[in-house]
């Protein structure tokens, strides 16, 4: 018997020292976790849908109440609609739809989660700033119509308050975005560590 | 799969694999309380994953895969608060009881705990006497990669045993 075989024999001779776990307890804990996860997903999707539906309806109503405006008015509204639609799409795309069991299909789960996290990170890092700039642009277009005939003072106030608000929101969200990116980076590194442990190259 | 059928199968699987699951826990953790917690986590994960078993591998392989992945996650979550599980003092304490069979097992365990996480998990599967193919299936990797890694880790483990205790 070689040395390693003796290790194997000793290893396998170990008797289990764990207390028996009640099946009912296992079942209820498993069910709790599943329900919690599903509930969280449903609630977040529901809120997102309600918020976007509200904004779409509002823009649709404004559009229909003013049928004879200039091209700037409609171009501005259309840009806002497109932006919101794209934003909604990216938010939906970040949601984990596939129900992959992480322990039973770890590699598939890790790859899928990494894809979603990388998308999430991209949205936060680049998507949001681009979104803010384009939103500002959409408002400028919109204002070019509704401020026809307005005084210079009113125009200056209108532009600076709106664009200033967008800028302020962007600045205020920087810290929160940074924290979210850090959290995503942590999750990415967690998944990569897990992947490395499973499949460490020689 | 009906509920009572699932319960029966679950109980049968646990009865058959209790020892293997326990040893996976042991290879990854040192503290007895943690081992008990991890064991329970594995059972919960197994219960959740049972419905997704497609018969592509054996139940045995499936259970090992679940156990290994729960253990990896458990350990990764614990890492921040855990100190080095094996101090020099511990190694010496084991050395004093070298004649004892239990001590030999502890020595083996102590050396396993000195390996890196990836190596430790792999060697625990080798010590379960699983084939390269089964190990590759559990770790979702290819057999060639596994073969090279195993021979490297075996050498590493033997060297550790030699260095600290001489051969068993």
Please give, one letter per residue, the 3-state secondary structure of B95-138.
HHCCCCHHHHHHHHHHHHCCCCHHHHHHHHHHHCCCCHHHHHHH
Boundary (domain end) residue, out of B28, B51, B82: B82
What share of chain A in percent tops pLDDT 70? 96
Chosen from B26, B46, B69 to mutate, greatest number of chain A CBs within 10 A: B69
Does a structural domain hold residue A53?
yes
pLDDT at A55 over 60: yes
Give residue B88's pLDDT: 44
Q: Are residues B88 and B67 in the same domain?
A: no
Q: Are residues B90 and B161 in the same domain?
A: yes
pLDDT at B59 over 70: yes
Boundary (domain end) residue, out of B66, B82, B98: B82
Q: Are residues B100 and B146 in the same domain?
A: yes
Least confident of A61-75, A95-109, A116-130, B4-18: A95-109
DSSP-based three-state secondary structure for A164: helix
Is the ipTM reported for this complex over the cut 0.85?
Answer: no
Residue-wise pLDDT tens digits, B32-51: 788 899 999 999 999 989 98
Give residue A41's pLDDT: 65
Task: Count contacts between A and B (CB, < 8 Å).
Answer: 120
Relative orientation angle of helices A23-65 and B3-28, to the nearest 10 degrees: 100
Higher pLDDT, A134 or A4: A134
Radius of gyration of chain B (CA): 17
The answer to whether the CB atoms of B62 and A4 lie below 8 A apart is: no
CA distance B156 to B154: 5
CATH of the domain at B98: 1.10.10
In three-state form (DSSP H/G/I as H, E/B as E, the rest C), the secondary structure along chain B is CCHHHHHHHHHHHHHHHHHHHHHHHHHHCCCHHHHHHHHHHHHHHHHHHHHHCCCCCCHHHHHHHHHHHHHHHHHHHHCCCCCCCCCHHHHHHHHHCCCCHHHHHHHHHHHHCCCCHHHHHHHHHHHCCCCHHHHHHHCCCCHHHHHHHHHHHHHHHHHHHHHHHCCC
Residues ≥6 apart with Cβ < 8 Å to A140: A76, A159, A163
Does a structural domain hold residue A131?
yes
DSSP-based three-state secondary structure for A66: coil
Boundary (domain end) residue, out of B61, B82, B103: B82
Chosen from B36, B140, B159 to mutate, greatest number of chain A CBs within 10 A: B140
Q: How many CA atoms lie within 13 A of B156 on its CB side?
A: 16
pLDDT at B126 over 50: yes
Total domains, chain B: 2
Judge whether B48 is closer than 8 Å to chain A, CB to CB.
Answer: yes
Total domains, chain A: 1
């Amino acid at each position: 018997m070689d040395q390693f075989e003796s290790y194997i024999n000793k290893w396998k001779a170990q008797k289990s020292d764990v207390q028996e776990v009640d099946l009912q307890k296992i079942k209820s804990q498993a069910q709790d976790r599943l329900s919690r996860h599903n509930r969280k997903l449903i609630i977040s999707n529901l809120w997102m849908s309600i918020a976007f539906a509200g904004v779409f309806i509002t823009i649709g109503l404004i559009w229909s109440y003013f049928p004879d405006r200039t091209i700037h008015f409609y171009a501005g509204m259309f840009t806002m609609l497109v932006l919101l639609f794209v934003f909604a799409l990216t938010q939906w795309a970040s949601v984990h739809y596939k129900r992959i069991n992480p322990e039973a299909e770890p590699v598939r789960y890790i790859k899928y989660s990494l894809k979603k996290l990388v998308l999430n990170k991209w949205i936060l890092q680049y998507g949001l700033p681009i979104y803010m700039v384009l939103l500002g642009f959409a408002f400028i277009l919109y204002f070019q119509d509704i401020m026809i005939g307005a005084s210079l003072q009113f125009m200056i106030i209108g532009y600076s308050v709106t664009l200033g608000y967008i800028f302020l929101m962007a600045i205020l969200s920087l810290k929160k975005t940074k924290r979210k990116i850090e959290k995503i980076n942590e999750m990415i590194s967690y998944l990569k560590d897990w992947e490395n442990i499973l499949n460490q190259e020689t | 799969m009906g509920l009572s059928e699932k319960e029966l199968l679950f109980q049968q699987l646990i009865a058959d694999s209790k020892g293997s699951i326990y040893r996976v826990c042991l290879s990854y953790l040192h503290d007895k309380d943690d081992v008990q917690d991890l064991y329970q986590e594995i059972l919960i994960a197994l219960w959740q994953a049972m419905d997704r078993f497609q018969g592509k591998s054996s139940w045995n392989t499936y259970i090992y895969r679940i156990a290994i992945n729960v253990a990896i996650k458990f350990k990764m979550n614990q890492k921040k608060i855990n100190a080095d599980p094996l101090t020099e003092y511990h190694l010496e304490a084991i050395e004093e009881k070298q004649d004892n069979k239990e001590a030999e097992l502890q020595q083996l365990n102590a050396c396993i705990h000195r390996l890196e996480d990836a190596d430790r998990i792999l060697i625990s599967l080798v010590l379960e006497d699983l084939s390269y193919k089964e190990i590759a299936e559990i770790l979702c990797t290819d057999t060639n990669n596994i073969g090279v890694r195993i021979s490297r880790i075996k050498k590493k483990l033997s060297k550790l045993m030699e260095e600290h205790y001489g051969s068993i």
